[in-house]
Structure formats: C-alpha cells, structure tokens
Amino acid sequence: MTDESTTTHRQTPSQTIGPFFGYALPYDGGPELVPGNQPTAIRLYGTVFDGAGNPVPDALLEIWQADDEGILPRELGSLARGQQGSAADAFTGFGRCPSTRAGRYGFTTVKPGPVSGKAPYILVTVFARGMTQHLFTRCYFPDEVDLNAEDTVLNAVPADRRHTLIAVRERAGYRFDIHLQGEGETVFLDFDD
C-alpha cells in the first residue's frame, strides 16, 4: 500500500478530558440550541452509564446536527447563544452539555430534517474522565420507521444492538441513554472516508 504518501502529517493523539473541564468547556446556552418556547423545539435527554451500570457524573456531551429542513448550518455564534436574547439567535446546529451528578444530560433543539433524503439523526459525541478518547454515536428517531429501515448504518449494526442508536419517544421528548460498556452497550461509530 502506498496510500500513506497522501498523509504527510501524523495525528496528534487524544488524551482524556479529565475531571476538571467543568469550569472551562460548558457555557451558558450550550444545551439550548433553540429556545424552549419555540414551537418546533424538542427535548433530547438521557443518562450516561458506565460498565457497572452507574451513572457517569463527569461526562461532557456534544451534539451536531442539521436544521429542521436537513441543512447543515454554517452560522457562527454557538458560544454566544443567549447573550442577546436567545430568540434572536441563529440555529448553529451545535450544542454542549455536561452530565449532572445523576449522569443526566439534556438538550433543547429541533428534530433534524432528512439530509439528502436519508434517515435524520443527531451526531452525539461523548467525553468523560476515564475515557482516553471520545466516542461518537448517532441518535436516530423512532418515528422515522421508513427511512430508518433503509439506513445503511442501522442496517450494518447487529439487530439486537440496533435499538441503542434509536431514541425512545416519551411524553417529555426523546430519551437517548448512553451505555459506555456492558449490558445494552451503545453502538459507537468510527468513520471511514
């Protein structure tokens, strides 16, 4: 193989986020991609669990998604959200939320539209003390039965693990729990190019 010649620079290795990011990375408005009173707003929430089934109180979650029409936003201002009154903010598609002592997280966002006609999902990135490198997963939606049935990623996953990529519809919104290890371990993704 000679493909390596195309890559002249080598990856800087990951290192754990550690326990002390809480005063540095979370920011006001991080979990609220849209105001809660916006008619199209949804809640996306869940709990992060470790391999013993205990909640992870020191995780950081990031989401990145298309808007409700399936367009990936190019708007600046994720970090400044809410400073001018959130109703005036553009939708940036990016959110960040630390887990609570109970291991819970929650975002207010919109359900993304299908991108290029494919099953909509929210890209979820998990960081935590004890994780040497972040993990990616996708949160699909249970009410997209037809598009989900055609989705190449959902179909690439063993049937008995597929549900870990699909949020659960509840009265309050969509619940997407994350199991880092063990019973019901979430399917985590690695991306080719």
Partner 1 sequence: MADELEPQTKISTEIAAIAGAAAATPANSTGHPRRDYAPYRSSVLRHPTHELVRVDPEEVERVSPAFGHTDVDLLESDLTIQHTGEPLGERITVSGRVLDGDGRPVRHQLIEIWQANSAGRYVHKRDQHPAPLDPNFTGVGRAITGEDGSYRFVTIKPGPYPWRNHHNAWRPAHIHFSLFGTAFTQRLITQMYFPGDPLFALDPIYQSVTDPEARKRLVSAYDHEANVPEFSMGYSWDIVLTGSRSTWMESEHDHD
**Binding residue count for partner 1, defined by CB under 8 A:** 78
**166, 187 in Cβ contact below 8 A?**
no
Q: How far is the CB of 98 from partner 1 (least distance, A)?
A: 12
Q: Rounded distance, CA 147 to CA 105, Å?
A: 27
Residue 14 token pair:
């990951």
- Site residues for partner 1, 69-88, by CB under 8 A, read 72-80
Closest CA to 142 of 165, 116, 126: 165
- What tokens appear for 144 in the block? 């997209």
User: Which residue stretch of 37-45, 102-110, 168-176, 180-188 sits at the interface with partner 1 (rule: CB under 8 A)?
Assistant: 180-188
Judged by CB under 8 A, which stretch of 5-13, 36-44, 140-148, 169-177 contacts partner 1?
Answer: 5-13
Residue 14 Cα distances to 51, 123, 137, 171, angstroms: 22, 19, 18, 38
Closest contact distance (angstroms) between CB of 151 and partner 1 is: 10
Pick from 142, 143, 169, 181 the residue near partner 1 by CB under 8 A.
Answer: 181
> Which residues, 6 or more positions from 139, have their beta carbon under 8 angstroms from its beta carbon?
44, 63, 121, 122, 123, 124, 165, 166, 167, 174, 176
Contact flags string 33-72 toward partner 1, x per CB under 8 A: -----------------xxx-x-x-x---x-xxx-----x
Note whether 162 binds partner 1 by CB under 8 A: no
Which positions from 101 through 160 interact with partner 1, judged by CB under 8 A? 115-116, 118, 121, 123, 125, 127-136, 152-153, 156-157
* Closer by beta carbon to partner 1, 133 or else 172: 133
DSSP class of residue 173? E
Considering the complex, state which of residue 42 and residue 154 has its C-beta at the smaller distance from partner 1.
154
